[in-house]
Structure 1
Amino acid sequence: MPRSVVLAPVAVLLACVLAAGCDGGVEGVAGAPGVRDPYFPKLGNGGYDVTHYGLTLDYRPAQRKLVGKAVVTARADRDLSAFDLDLKGMEVQSVEVDGKPARFNRSGDHELVVRPREDLDEGASFTTVVRYAGSPEVVTDPDGSEEGWLPTADGALALGEPTGSMTWFPGNHHPGDKATYDITVSVPEGLRAVSNGELREERVRDGRAVFAWHVGEPMASYVATVAVGRFTVHRSEGDGKGGVPVYTAVDPREAAGGDEVLGRIPEIVEWGTRTFGAYPFSSAGAIVEREKDAGYALETQNRPVFPGAPSVELLVHELAHQWYGNSVTPRSWRDMWLNEGFATYAEWLWGEEHGGDSAQEVFDLLYEGEYFDDKADDDAVWAFPPARPPDAAQISDSPVYERGAMVLHRIRQTVGDEAFRGILRGWATAHRHGTADTADFTAFVEAKAPDADFSEIWDDWLYGEGKPDRA
């Protein structure tokens, strides 16, 4: 919230204390080191909004050494005497703000505190240049999975959900602050660097291969990626009838198993366009690594990452995230069910329309505890309500996925198929390239079906503890 220009000095001092310190008297306050996310309160930063990242990276796999230059363009949403960037590990060599050297220091686990030579005015755009180097860290999530800059058999893979992106570039690493990107990566000749968006340039000079990628639509940092290695690349330019270009990069050891499934990307995107509305990005695709290199799939923007050749169902899930998660991004990590519940329900819809079980049949199996092979997995569906995971370790657990999808199916049962399809498309359209939370969604549904009563769905299925009574 912008600082009022009529604040008295005592109020300004209090604002400084709450924002973790002041510099420069009463002319400006420091941006907060964290946005108080319910599960990751120290992630992200207050006081500014990033509009663009320009990242120039040089990676040497043999030494696991990354040299980076980040040009971060942002807009101040209050008068600022200092601000924070999230950067875990790495040695910061220099920082400039608007072309002038800036003072900086490291604070805590991942805060880079920057003090410009001159205060930044509310509403002003400013550019910060950070030069840094080191061996990027691997982060272990609260749920035990690994992310960050992951060494692979022939290079590296950067995965960022929920906190790993801050290991390889400084920024405002919270899903609530999205930006466009230019990512240029230099690697040893013979390797490729694959990232988000479109490949604008590819060249080789003095034994180094350089790949320049451009992301023209807003992107949350947790779905940014860089994959370095030897890949078999396939490109298509679309059909000229609304089909988007497709770029896939597959580890050669996975090519035999992945080619047929990945060849269905245009078909799945076209199905998604009919079902969810206009495809939100200018290209699609996939990155397929070896199973041990990744360990899990992730909906990285434009081209999801897969640990080995994916099944059709997994491909549908991750491509559905391009609408739900990447375009409509959760405002906080508490709203993860808006990602995973929608992508899981997309799998159900795909199966329903392509010779598999209907969504109702899947719902019934889950409710009766006959969906999974292991009874413990069936019971886990009811461990907590999808909109209220107990802590950060549970934001990717079964209630967020399966029970989240069951919430959507209950909405479908309440409003009917035609109105439900309108809700799917309308939600993706209303918040295209933006952020939203659960309250936004429930209000949206109620506005689209004003004569329906959703109280039982919200109270029992979305927020309620335990297994709801079946309607």
Structure 2
Amino acid sequence: MFKRTGLRAAVAACCAAAFVATPAFAGAGSPGAPGAGDPYFPEYGNGGYDVAHYDVRLRYEPKDDHLAGTTTIVANPTQDLTAFNLDFALPVKSIRVNGAPSTFEQRGTELTVTPPEELPAGRQSTFVVEYEGVPSAVEVDGLNPWIRTADGALAVGEPEISAWWFPGNDHPRDKATFDIAVDVPEGTEVLSNGVNTDTSTLAGRTTWKWRTTKPTATYLAFLGIGQYEINTKPGAFGQPFVTAYADGLGDVEGAAKASVERTPEVLDFLSGLLGEYPFEAQGGVIPAEGLSFALENQTRPTYSPKFFAKGANTSVVVHENAHQWFGDSVSVDTWRDIWLNEGFASYAEWLWSEQQGTGTAQELFDHYYSSLPADDPFWQIAPGEPGPENIFSDAVYDRGALTVHALSNVIGPDALLDVVRTWVQDKRYSTGTVEEFIELAEQRSGRQLDEFFQNWLFTPGKPAATPENGIPASATRAAVVPPKSVAEIDATHALVHAHH
């Protein structure tokens, strides 16, 4: 759905604005890098500072998609900075750095800020950005992930969305905590991450305040604005369980609720496999329109109603909540590492199917391995190096899950569980690479796995049916009757893949 390449090289430019004279720096500082150096998207994110906290304050008008905002960023320079970049697409009115008006230049989603004084490394700084615009009208390099609906909007997307509603360091390497406050006309609801700390109404307008106290990647911060039925009750582990169902869901409302309301049960199941749930709240959001995919927004996945068109679908609930560990708590270090998100979330669906008695993980492995012939294009994408154009391909999800189960066959399910639990604990609130995971798997299992991972993750083509590849003889025979869960999993993945 979204074009992934060339975002930061956009030709579209916003006018530059200057508020102070060009500063003269006495130190030996330098500008921060305009990108985080991601091999697939080199200009995503920025260098030279780490964000600790975002305070995002917005006023939004559903009738015309007008958004006015002030975002305060608390950051720690990692070098002596004479200038730095933020990722942001909307028109900027002013920027203050440590209280001082600062010059800036905006081109596409690259917002370059020059403070009047050099920012010393290690000394906390504050950036305040004031802005105003219509997000749905701002396109950069043919891209606009903001979703306008009849009664509001959705800020939901991967790997980019934040630049259309708050300025920041838009790469999973730089996580931060968030306070998000949105002022809307009375009678309009606002959903975001974490816990609802306050909702107040004055003079016909309501302000909704949300807070997440755990490190959050920018693309996992979200907004849902419109007409929603919001329910808050105790969930798993005694945490707030917040669900929101849009008005107008029609015939799918029952199936949607029958699925998303099982989130606490799903989290209980997943925590038994993966260890302690890493966040402070849980839930789910289902808009009535505009969304054709699901996304693992931290603490509050958002689902298209299309997932429930044929009835209840717990597979997608399992998938998005497994991402709370694989993707949200432990994020990709670069977008090349996306198998670590999608392969494990997809495999969690297989384990849920086994627990529910609708097909074992081995039966699902046999089905997918045998049903795709060696000349199918599916096998030509390597999940460990898919390329920027294929980071959300079927192979990353389904061949990714096949890889995880094959690893279980090679090292044993107990050893796999040990590897996974160690990974999510050691990398909690951080990032990881595929190579680091491979190294951990070898350490914890005591097995040399280079050839195994080379065949499954890095080599185009269907892995040979050998014990060394974790493929039993049963996998070479087409299943006479596919596991009952296959239709639900396939429907889930068809929609999940479509949005990327």
TM normalised by structure 1 equals 0.89
1:213 aligns with 2:231: no
Q: Distance in 1 between matches of 2:370 and 2:269?
A: 30
Residue identity in the other structure for 2:357: G
* Contact 2:65/2:136 (<8 A) preserved: no
1:116 aligns with 2:111: no
Segments of 5+ residues of structure 2 without an aligned counterpart are 1-22, 467-500
Name 1:398's counterpart in structure 2.
394
Q: Secondary structure at the match of 1:123?
A: coil
Matches within 5 A, 1:410-449: 410-449=406-445
Name 2:450's counterpart in structure 1.
455
Q: Distance in 1 between matches of 2:207 and 2:264?
A: 28
Q: Secondary structure at the match of 1:129?
A: strand
Match among 318, 321, 325 for residue 320 of structure 2: 318
Matches within 5 A, 1:240-259: 242-254=237-249, 255-259=253-257
Q: Distance in 2 between matches of 1:63 and 1:350?
A: 43
Deviations 1:67-114 (A, max 9, x none): 0101011111111000000001x211110011111111113x211111
Q: Distance in 1 between matches of 2:448 and 2:368?
A: 24
Q: Distance in 1 between matches of 2:272 and 2:54?
A: 32
Displacement after TM superposition at 1:246 (Å): 0.5
Q: Secondary structure at the match of 2:83?
A: strand
Segments of 5+ residues of structure 1 without an aligned counterpart are 1-21
Match among 408, 411, 419 for residue 404 of structure 2: 408
Q: Distance in 1 between matches of 2:45 and 2:137?
A: 19
Displacement after TM superposition at 1:380 (Å): 3.9
* Identity of matched residues, %: 40
Question: How many residues in Structure 1 have an aligned counterpart in Structure 2?
Answer: 436
Q: Distance in 2 between matches of 1:257 and 1:464?
A: 40
Name 2:94's counterpart in structure 1.
94
Residue identity in the other structure for 2:55: G
Q: Distance in 1 between matches of 2:377 and 2:329?
A: 29
Name 1:37's counterpart in structure 2.
38
Name 1:229's counterpart in structure 2.
226
Displacement after TM superposition at 1:383 (Å): 2.3
Q: Secondary structure at the match of 1:439?
A: helix
Residue identity in the other structure for 1:307: S
TM normalised by structure 2 equals 0.84
Structure with bigger RCO (C-alpha 8 Å, 6+ apart): 2
Residue identity in the other structure for 1:379: D
* Contact 1:160/1:221 (<8 A) preserved: no
Q: Secondary structure at the match of 1:429?
A: helix
Match among 338, 346, 349 for residue 336 of structure 1: 338
Displacement after TM superposition at 1:393 (Å): 2.4
Q: Distance in 2 between matches of 1:357 and 1:253?
A: 34
Displacement after TM superposition at 1:389 (Å): 1.0
* Contact 2:109/2:140 (<8 A) preserved: no
For the structure 1 residues 147 and 437, does the alpha-carbon distance in structure 2 shift closer, same or farther, using more than 3 Å as the test?
A: farther
Residue identity in the other structure for 1:433: Y
Deviations 1:199-225 (A, max 9, x none): 000011111111000010000011110
Residue identity in the other structure for 1:415: I
Shift >4 Å, 4+ stretches: 138-142
Q: Distance in 2 between matches of 1:193 and 1:322?
A: 21
Name 1:181's counterpart in structure 2.
178
Matches within 5 A, 1:29-428: 29-88=30-89, 90-107=90-107, 109-137=108-136, 148-238=145-235, 242-254=237-249, 255-290=253-288, 292-308=289-305, 310=308, 311-369=313-371, 379-390=376-387, 392-428=388-424
Residue identity in the other structure for 2:333: R
